[in-house]
A and B are shown apart, each in its own frame.
Chain A
């Protein structure tokens, strides 16, 4: 699941940056001038190597700086790039540890995607990109279960690739079944590497499920045929939201929710589409309290929060003073002053002039 950095988990670098007595911002400025990878705010690290995986997927090998901490297979990192003066951040799963002190991320082009396309088109070997510390709970237990089922669709294979490599390198004694759903034979991310791993390690069984050639989509029959013992297996799931809903629903119907671990890219989705009451245009989820607030058509987020009994800070209520600034984790908002709708994750919005165009998650 997507996790948020909480105040008590701030790394030492953040604390140093925020320190008034040591003048953190000044210290940080000169550290960044000496080496951008020494930044206390966000290390900018060099891309060591770029590997083409498929026609639209590439692996980037990075060397994290000090303060990155220990990363576990299955976790994701924040990657940021600056495009025309604006910093954009996305989270990508760690797809492997290709050498001492190195990590790799594997990025598939998203049609119209700002960051993925920029990484593909503009970033060359030797360029710097922002890299923040690993987060995420999509990791295997310390003693890995002996019977594993991994279900991946599309770029959902990336966190699992990291896990499979890590397991096999450690001399894992159990066995793994991997159901790997891809659009077509040309879209087999890590195709060669996975084929080599299956040849080398008999305990890894992989099924390529080709959507275009074989018309394979997730269904109960096929699951039973390929993995008759699926109910006994500890299952990891990652893929596009729609695909995951289908798999989760199946596990739910078999009362196996407890054995299924899953990770969404982006905000968590409800299992069943939430039916909204009449007059409710969107739900605003407050990440810190977990509360859910109703917003009506055209109602500003500030008014919606206040109507729900929250007391957000505010000042001018007309978009000039910035008192009501709040980080939007996900979802589309309309800026009432400019009329612009933004879908950008992790951006700051002004509650008093923002309306929820659809469900939102706020860092509030």
Chain B
């Protein structure tokens, strides 16, 4: 066990090429998914947060429930859509990194949208009268608030990133865990552990945790600095 940890550390420290390729693909896939989910999720969440329409409560409950979407189920649905017999089969995307980005985007879109909706709605309660008095309504109000609480929304984006980089079910199903093509940190850890190659699994586990920690620390510091700067 100890020797496995030591070997894992050695792989990380010696910049083992195979290990860093896997790390790189993981980051590329999850960061892409976060970018897409943020671009879609923030406006969506903000729009729901500042507007009133029939069925809004149902939509909010649904969105909140979707935050707990099981990755394997998302993987399965995207798999069926992208498989050769599926409606999007002609795209030939199955078992590519692009398919993994799609699956992770679907997985974390509800998380980012739901957390953004809550934050925007709380802010809207505070700003509504002032903004309406100035003649600001609708999408303009939503965007004004998103910009004003942008540092708080980092938390929503980070929650999405954490979910994307940690999940294994969705990328396993739609990516296929193909060595050198769609193999990412989590799928490698699952595979290597079942094969008994603990050093690589442990090394990747350490990198994964370190990345998540570093991102959260950076976001925390940024938010604190912004709080001091802007009040």
A joins B in a complex: no
Interface set of B (CB-CB < 8 Å, partner A): none
Interface set of A (CB-CB < 8 Å, partner B): none
